[in-house]
Amino acid sequence: MPEMTLIEAVRQALDEELARDERVLVIGEDVGRRGGVFRATQGLLEKYGEERVIDSPLAEASIVGVGVGAALYGMRPVCEIQFADFIHMAFNQVVNEAARMCYRSNGEWTLPMVIRAPYGGGIGGGIYHSQSVEAFYAHVPGLKVVIPSNPKDAKGLLKAAIRDPNPVMFFEPKKGYRLIRGEVPEGDYSVPIGPAHVSREGTDLSVFAYGMMHHYALQAAAQAGAEGISVEVVDLRTLLPVDRQSILASVRKTGKALIVHEDNLTGGYGAEVAAILAEEAFGDLDAPVMRLCAPDVPGIPFSHAMQEWVMPNPQKILGAIRRLARF
């Protein structure tokens, strides 16, 4: 299987889906001539033309609004928001329109659209280019929320999202765009939305993560293994709908749970995972559920030193694993 970066896998998925289905189109700021600010759409304008790779104005509400209308008309739009931080401008279109359409029409209308955006810190982007916004949208019934952590899943999950009849929020860890490499199967394939994936088997404790934090969790687990701590790492992949069975199965095997994400601690997605464990696996726990997250600060600092202080990293995860293993 060929090896590629995460951003190359995203680009390949878009290319193949545009070629496969003439209803697919891409719309967003700088997705055409520039090929996207991270080059996710590089070369697609030349292959598919301006009617299917559309440079939009700097107006996120319009990008998503056009996507909603196109999906209702039978198209399958992929709306790129340049940074996840900017989805806030389209919150009404996402939450009040896209998420509610099937319900409000009693199933008469589906809304097959994808809203994809880079999220998270680690690139020195500062407050307005580093936010983790997934918990906002994982709260909303009617949406699906997907976050890949490796190139194989990035391609397969994006293909599944484009083919899904529901609106899918597809968040990509921007720090991992060129840092994370991996093998990607040749030919057409998809990865189902919903199931989590046990990416490392273990017996002493479970680590639940997604996106860049899953990549870091694997590094920390490998170091912990060298110290005699057997760590199971679960890549959640889909935040909504949540794979309760995989979460419970892992903790019933290991008895301990560490949840890692780079969003703020309070109200972050980890609280939902912790609640599932408290409600349905309390008797299986040998220690309190632990969360390792960013502190409750308004944003990721621009300063690289402060950015490193705020964000989880492999060493911080390893420290949390050691503390939990000793409990």
181: its two tokens: 């490499």
94-97-99 Cα angle (round to 5)? 65
Question: Is 129 one of the annotated active-site residues of the chain?
Answer: yes
Which of 88, 129, 197, 261 does the annotation list as catalytic?
A: 129
Dihedral sign, Cα of residue 294, residue 322, residue 238, residue 240: negative
Q: HSE (CB half, 13 Å, CA atoms) of 27?
A: 27
Identify the segments of the chain with pLDDT beneath 50.
none
Contact 111, 166 (CB under 8 A): yes
Question: Would you say 233 and 200 are in contact if contact means Cβ atoms under 8 Å apart?
Answer: yes
Q: Are 13 and 28 in contact (CB under 8 A)?
A: no
Name all domains of the chain by residue range, CATH numbers in brackets. 3-183 (3.40.50.970), 197-326 (3.40.50.920)
Between the CA of residue 179 and those of 131, 151, 190, 293, 295, what are the distances in Å? 19, 11, 23, 21, 25
Beta-strand relationship, 290-294 and 257-264: parallel
Q: What is the pLDDT of residues 288-301, one digit of tens each?
A: 999 999 999 998 99
**Distance (Å, whole) CA 322 – CA 324:** 6
Task: Identify the pLDDT of residue 1.
Answer: 85
The amino acid sitting at 95 is V
**208 backbone dihedrals φ, ψ, rounded to 5°:** -110, 130
pTM for this prediction: 0.96
